[in-house]
């Protein structure tokens, strides 16, 4: 098994009395691709900055390879960072940006100061240019590069120092969709080729699911769930995780006995157990796990209220007894038609009630536009907020 490399132990961070991070416990394994995922202001960037050494936790400890590093400044940590807006040095060209870290005086194990030879620097920079596919760009000025190229330079500049851990703070946020997909694959490839730990911060759940070995879902300064992408998606721990990761219908239910949950006064078979008898629970049903059947064969019966064509499938909103469900189906059902649905036992996931219960309603106000607007407004707000905090 891979060994533990970084451990955050009960880390709390407060700015002017406002708690941003609330007792985080987290360990990160060597060579792992770990993603901190959450909405704006959830504390993910702060967590990253604590690991990078830019912030010292108000309380709690940070361990690196078993050594407490709370007060170790950033320049003495075996960690390098790819910053949100790249933070490339505008007065240096591509080559000198990448060589920046290499040109600084190093200290060896005996505390002796030394410098890398020009030959070694050149060799390592060229090697890195190869890794990020930027051969031939070394003399270019930073302002002459596209966003994607700048991104690659930022990655190369961090990786050339051979860190044990690379921290990435929403590195793809500024790129357009197509480029973002390419860079996701690229990052995963680089991580596997270099065999180092990546800690990746994002608010994009698709990105997190696609790249990570482990996803840490955060909200309100707390870790909501840690797990593999499959775990997080299939077995969300609470309504927040279920809502944040992918689309989900979250309903109130009552656990009648192991393997039986009651929704809308109808009993459904499920695979969950370990709840009290008649315990109120949250039930998650993913839109793709619902089968549409003729009305008389359905476990539930409802009316289609809206249909959106999405290419691969239709987003169909169906009204069941006043609760609007999102169903993703390849079958076209016209608006106002009556349909029935069937849900297989493995399509039902039961969660304990949490303080998030009831916060994520049905899809009655669902619209594409709304989602996009709220996504786009996330970033600047978060930055401003954190800038203020730093001051």
Interface positions, 362-391, toward another protein (CB under 8 A): 387, 390-391
Q: Could you give the CA distance from residue 212 to residue 99 in angstroms, rounded to a whole number?
A: 29
- The bridge status of strand 214-219 relative to strand 33-37 is parallel
Q: How far is the CB of 131 from another protein (least distance, A)?
A: 17
Closer residue to another protein in complex, CB, 99/327: 99
Q: Identify the CA nearest to 268 among candidates 343, 326, 199.
A: 343
Query: For the window 268-307, what string marks contact with another protein as x by the rule CB under 8 A?
Result: ----------------------------------------
**Does residue 15 belong to the site contacting another protein (CB under 8 A)?**
no
Greatest pairwise CA separation for the chain in angstroms: 81
Q: Could you give the CA distance from residue 367 to residue 155 in angstroms, rounded to a whole number?
A: 36
Q: Could you give the CA distance from residue 179 to residue 148 in angstroms, rounded to a whole number?
A: 7
Q: How far is the CB of 318 from another protein (least distance, A)?
A: 47
Closer residue to another protein in complex, CB, 162/269: 162
Q: How far is the CB of 136 from another protein (least distance, A)?
A: 22
Closer residue to another protein in complex, CB, 157/286: 157
Interface positions, 154-213, toward another protein (CB under 8 A): 157-158, 161
DSSP string, 203-248: S-HHHHHHH-SEEEEEETTEEEEEE-HHHHHHS-SSHHHHHHSS--
CB-neighbour burial class of residue 235 (10 A; exposed 0-12, middle 13-18, buried 19+): middle
Treating both helix axes as pointing N-terminal to C-terminal, what angle do 118-131 and 147-159 enclose, rounded to 10 degrees?
A: 130
Q: How far is the CB of 201 from another protein (least distance, A)?
A: 14
Interface positions, 122-141, toward another protein (CB under 8 A): none
Choice from 59, 65, 104, 308 touching another protein (CB under 8 A): 104
Q: How far is the CB of 344 from another protein (least distance, A)?
A: 49
Closer residue to another protein in complex, CB, 50/239: 50
CA dist 169 → 12, 198, 304 (Å): 20, 11, 42
Q: How far is the CB of 14 from another protein (least distance, A)?
A: 17
Q: Could you give the CA distance from residue 257 to residue 124 in angstroms, rounded to a whole number?
A: 62
Q: Could you give the CA distance from residue 165 to residue 170 in angstroms, rounded to a whole number?
A: 16
# chain residues binding another protein, by CB under 8 A: 28
- Cβ atoms of 48 and 169 within 8 Å: the answer is yes
Closer residue to another protein in complex, CB, 81/205: 81
Interface positions, 31-90, toward another protein (CB under 8 A): 52-54, 73-75, 79-81, 83-85, 87-90
Residues in contact with another protein by CB under 8 A are 52-54, 73-75, 79-81, 83-85, 87-91, 100-101, 104, 106, 143, 157-158, 161, 387, 390-391
């Amino acid at each position: 098994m891979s060994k533990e490399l970084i451990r955050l132990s009960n880390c709390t961070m407060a700015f002017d009395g406002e708690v941003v991070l609330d007792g985080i416990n987290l360990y990160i394994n060597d060579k792992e691709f770990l993603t901190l995922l959450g909405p704006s202001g959830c504390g993910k960037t702060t967590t990253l900055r604590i690991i990078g050494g830019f912030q010292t936790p108000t309380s709690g400890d940070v361990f690196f390879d078993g050594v407490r590093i709370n007060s170790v400044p950033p320049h003495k940590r075996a960690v390098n960072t790819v910053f949100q807006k790249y933070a490339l040095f505008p007065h240096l060209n591509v080559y000198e940006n990448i060589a920046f870290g290499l040109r600084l005086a190093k200290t060896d194990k005996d505390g002796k100061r030394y410098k890398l030879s020009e030959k070694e620097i050149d060799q390592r920079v060229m090697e890195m240019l190869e890794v990020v596919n930027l051969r031939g760009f070394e003399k270019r000025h930073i302002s002459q590069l596209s966003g994607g190229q700048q991104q690659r330079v930022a990655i190369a500049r961090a990786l050339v120092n051979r860190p044990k851990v690379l921290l990435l703070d929403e590195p793809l946020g500024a790129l357009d969709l197509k480029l973002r997909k390419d860079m996701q694959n690229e990052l995963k490839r680089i991580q596997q080729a270099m065999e180092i730990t990546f800690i990746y911060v994002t608010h994009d759940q698709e990105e997190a699911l696609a790249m990570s070995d482990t996803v840490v879902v955060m909200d309100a300064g707390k870790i909501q769930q840690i797990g593999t992408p499959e775990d997080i998606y299939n077995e969300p721990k609470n309504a927040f995780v279920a809502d944040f990761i992918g689309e989900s219908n979250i309903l109130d239910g009552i656990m009648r006995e192991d393997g039986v949950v009651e929704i809308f006064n109808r009993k459904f078979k499920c695979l969950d157990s370990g709840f009290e008898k008649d315990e109120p629970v949250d039930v998650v049903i993913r839109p793709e796990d619902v089968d549409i059947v003729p009305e008389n064969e359905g476990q539930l019966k409802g009316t289609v209220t809206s249909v959106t064509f999405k290419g691969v499938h239709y987003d169909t909103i169906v009204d069941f007894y006043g609760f609007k469900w999102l169903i993703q189906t390849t079958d076209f059902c016209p608006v106002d038609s009556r349909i029935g649905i069937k849900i297989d036992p493995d399509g039902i996931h039961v969660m304990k009630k949490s303080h998030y219960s009831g916060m994520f309603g049905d899809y009655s106000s669902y619209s594409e536009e709304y989602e996009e607007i709220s996504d786009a407004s996330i970033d600047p707000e978060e930055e401003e907020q954190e800038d203020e905090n730093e001051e």
